[in-house]
C-alpha cells in the first residue's frame, strides 16, 4: 500500500509543472499512465487522490488512468508482443529471453485545463 | 476543446533525483550498494549475518536496515560487528518500502569510504519496494523455498530489473513440498536476465556462489563506470 505516497507525489508533480507553465489555471482532468508491472493498484491510487485532491491546488480535478499492458521484445526472434500475465515468454517462438519494453511506467502524462468561464459576458462591449 | 498541458514526467521524478544523488555519493566513496528485497521472513538478515562471516578479510560491509518498527535488525548485525543503521518507517507513517530520502538520511551515519559493499535491506514486502530506486548498483530478491514455487509468477513486478534472485533456506527443501527446479524455472519466467542463486545461511550451502556473485558485482562496478 504505497499508493497514498504516490498520490501525494502526483499532486506535487502536477502542481509544480503548472506553477511554471500555467500559474492560476484550474485543472479539469489529470491523465496518468500506470504500467501493469509497476506494482501499483490503480483503484487504491485513485482513492488516495480522491482524499488528497480537495485540499490541494488541484481541487475539483478528475483522474484518468491509462493502464499499460506489459510489452515484450524477443531477443532471438525480435518479435514484439503484449502479455497478460507471467510467465513472460515470446508467444511466437517460446523464448524466455525477452526484454520488457513497457509495463513498468508510473507517469504523469498531461492535464486538461478547465475552460475558463467569462465572468461578465454581457459587459463585453 | 479543453486546453491540454503536456507534463510527461515520472511520478517518481523527485525520488529518481534523490536516488541519483545517492548513486553519485556512493560512487565518490567507492562504495557499491545492493538493494535487498523480499518477503518478511525470507531470511534477508540471516543472509547478511552469514555473508559478514564470509566477507571477513575480503571486503568491508555495512547495512541499512528497513523495517516498520524496532531496531532489532540493526542490533543483530551490530552484534556481529557490522556497521548498521536502522530505518523504521513508522516515523514516516508506517510505509511499506524504503525511499531514497530515508536512505540518504541513514547514510550520514555510516563511514562510506570505509565500506566496500553496502546492503540496503528493504522493508519485507514483495510488492511496494519495486517502484523505488534507492541509488543502488544492483537489486536482489531473496525468496525462501518455504514461500512456495509460484511466488515469482504471482508477484512479477518485484522481479523486474533485478540482477539476481537468491533462493534462500535450501536446508528446508526436504521438509516442504517445493521443487527447487520448478521454483528456479518460475524465477526465470519473470526475470530471464537475472542470475539465479540458491543457498542456506544456516548450513552454508551455496553461500560461496552468493559471495562470488557479490565480488563480481563489486569488481564490475569499480572497474566499469569508474
Residue B91 has pLDDT above 80, yes or no: no
* B43-to-B3, B46, B53, B134, B174 alpha-carbon distances in Å: 53, 5, 16, 21, 18
Residues B112, B221, B41, B49, CA torsion sign = negative
CATH number (domain holding residue A24): 3.30.2320.50
| Residue-level pLDDT at A117 | 64
Domain presence at residue A50: yes
Nearest to A110 among B5, B15, B193 (CB): B5
Q: Give the domain extent around A48.
A: 3-69+103-115
User: Which residues of chain A does B189 touch, with a Cβ-Cβ cutoff of 8 Å?
Assistant: 86-89, 96
Q: What is the mean pLDDT of chain B?
A: 94
For CA atoms B107, B43, B117, A106, give the dihedral sign.
Answer: negative
Question: Does A21 contact B at CB distance below 8 Å?
Answer: yes
Average pLDDT over residues B144-165: 95
B119, part of any domain = yes
List all residues of chain B from 130 to 169 with a beta carbon under 8 Å from chain A. 130-132, 152-153, 156-158, 160-161
A110/B95 CB distance under 8 A = no
For A14-58, write each residue's pLDDT tens digit. 999 999 888 889 999 999 999 999 989 999 999 999 999 999 999
Rg (CA), chain A: 20
Complex confidence, ipTM: 0.84
pTM assigned to the model? 0.89
- Answer whether residue B87 is part of any domain: yes
Closest by alpha carbon to B81, among B46, B113, B118, B56?
B56
Residue A33 belongs to some domain of the structure: yes
The answer to whether position A83 is within a domain reads no
Give contacts of A18 with chain B, Cβ < 8 Å: 5
> Do B5 and A21 lie within an 8 Å CB cutoff?
yes
In this structure, is residue B86 part of a structural domain? yes
* CATH at B111: 3.40.50.300
User: Cα A94 to the chain's mean position, in Å?
Assistant: 31
**pLDDT value at position A84?**
87
Give the model's confidence band at B135: pLDDT under 50 very low, under 70 low, under 90 confident, else very high.
Answer: very high
Please give the pLDDT value at position A125: 43
| Residue of A45, A46, A88, A116 to mutate for B, most B C-beta atoms under 10 A | A88
Cell, residue B22: 545517492
Compute the average pLDDT of residues A98-113.
Answer: 94
Question: Touching check for B68 and chain A: CB below 8 Å?
Answer: no
Cβ–Cβ gap B96/A96 under 8 Å: no
Q: Do A100 and B3 touch (CB under 8 A)?
A: no
Nearest CB to B10; choose among A25, A107, A113: A107
DSSP state of A58: T
Which pLDDT does position B226 carry in this prediction?
42
Average pLDDT over residues A67-77: 95
Domain count, chain B: 1
**Is B15 part of the contact surface with chain A (CB cutoff 8 Å)?**
yes
**pLDDT at site B173:** 98
In chain B, residues 92-111 whose CB comes closer than 8 Å to chain A: 95-97, 99
Note whether residue B211 is domain-resident. Answer: yes
Its domain, for residue B72, covers 13-220
SS3 percent helix, strand, coil of chain B, rounded to 5, is 45, 20, 35
8 Å CB contact of A13 and B14: yes
Is residue B93 a part of any domain in this protein?
Answer: yes
Strand partners, B35: B120, B139
Q: Stretch B69-89: mean pLDDT, rounded?
A: 94
CA B90, CA B68: separation in Å to the nearest integer? 5
Instruction: Say if A92 falls within a structural domain.
Output: no
Lowest mean pLDDT among A113-117, B69-73, B89-93, B186-190: B89-93
Amino acid at each position: 500500500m504505497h499508493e497514498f505516497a504516490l498520490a501525494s507525489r502526483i499532486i506535487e508533480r502536477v502542481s509544480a509543472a503548472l506553477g511554471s507553465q500555467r500559474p492560476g489555471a484550474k485543472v479539469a482532468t489529470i491523465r496518468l499512465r500506470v504500467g501493469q508491472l509497476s506494482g501499483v493498484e490503480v483503484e487504491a491510487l485513485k482513492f488516495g487522490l480522491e482524499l488528497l485532491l480537495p485540499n490541494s491546488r488541484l481541487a475539483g480535478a478528475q483522474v484518468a488512468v491509462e493502464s499499460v499492458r506489459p510489452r515484450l521484445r524477443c531477443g532471438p526472434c525480435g518479435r514484439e508482443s503484449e502479455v497478460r500475465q507471467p510467465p513472460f515468454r515470446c508467444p511466437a517462438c517460446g523464448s524466455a529471453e525477452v526484454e520488457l519494453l513497457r509495463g513498468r511506467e508510473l507517469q504523469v502524462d498531461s492535464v486538461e485545463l478547465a475552460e475558463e468561464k467569462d465572468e461578465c459576458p454581457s459587459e463585453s462591449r | 476543446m479543453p486546453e491540454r498541458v503536456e507534463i510527461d514526467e515520472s511520478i517518481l521524478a523527485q525520488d529518481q533525483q534523490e536516488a541519483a544523488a545517492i548513486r553519485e555519493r556512493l560512487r565518490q566513496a567507492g562504495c557499491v550498494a545492493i538493494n535487498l528485497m523480499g518477503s518478511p521472513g525470507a531470511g534477508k538478515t540471516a543472509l547478511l549475518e552469514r555473508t559478514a562471516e564470509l566477507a571477513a578479510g575480503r571486503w568491508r560491509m555495512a547495512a541499512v536496515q528497513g523495517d516498520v518498527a524496532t531496531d532489532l535488525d540493526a542490533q543483530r548485525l551490530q552484534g556481529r560487528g557490522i556497521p548498521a543503521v536502522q530505518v523504521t518507517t513508522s516515523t514516516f507513517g508506517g510505509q511499506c518500502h524504503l525511499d531514497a530520502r530515508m536512505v540518504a538520511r541513514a547514510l550520514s551515519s555510516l563511514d562510506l569510504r570505509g565500506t566496500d559493499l553496502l546492503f540496503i535491506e528493504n522493508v519485507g514486502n514483495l510488492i511496494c519496494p519495486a517502484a523505488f530506486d534507492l541509488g543502488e548498483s544492483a537489486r536482489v530478491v531473496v525468496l525462501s523455498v518455504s514461500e512456495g514455487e509460484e511466488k515469482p509468477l504471482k508477484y512479477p513486478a518485484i522481479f523486474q530489473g533485478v540482477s539476481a534472485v537468491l533462493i534462500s533456506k535450501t536446508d528446508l527443501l526436504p521438509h516442504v513440498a517445493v521443487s527447487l527446479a520448478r521454483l528456479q524455472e518460475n524465477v526465470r519466467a519473470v526475470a530471464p536476465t537475472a542470475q539465479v542463486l540458491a543457498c542456506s545461511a544456516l548450513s552454508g550451502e551455496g553461500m560461496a556462489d552468493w559471495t562470488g556473485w557479490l565480488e563480481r558485482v563489486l569488481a564490475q562496478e569499480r572497474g566499469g563506470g569508474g
